Amino acid sequence: MASRAVSGYLLCAVALVFLVLLQGTQSVYIQYQGFQVQLKSVKKLNDLVGQWVPGPSLQDQSPQPSVCHHPALPLDLRPICASKDAASIFQALRTIANDDCELCVNVACTGCS
């Protein structure tokens, strides 16, 4: 019987560790205009916007925001580039991400604690 109790406690401990690890890997998401993107992707967007300037020929040829042509644009942000409102959506996401999204202050944020 003692071995059953020990294995029961061990199983509970393993389950608890698993739940703690699972909760730590959950991402914070921002939902806006029908798009759901990860907060870390929007932070990456902020970095890309600040560091990358496309060539003049690319700026003249494309109605999309220049960041849509950046090879490091996160995959979950790429569908936004197909929207005619891509520039305003990217700007809104950047603003939301700066509003303490990790603390769920903004209602557009989910998955935060």
pLDDT tens-digit map of 28-53 = 899 999 999 999 999 999 888 877 66
For the chain, the first-to-last Cα distance in angstroms comes to 40
For residue 110, what is the DSSP state? Answer: E
Task: Record the pTM.
Answer: 0.67
User: Distances from the Cα of 93 to the Cαs of 22, 32, 46, 79, in angstroms?
Assistant: 26, 7, 10, 14
Q: What confidence tens digit (pLDDT) does each residue in 84-110 have?
A: 999 999 999 988 887 766 667 677 787
Q: What band does 61 get if pLDDT is binned at 50, 70 and 90?
A: low
Element (H, E) at 109: strand 109-110
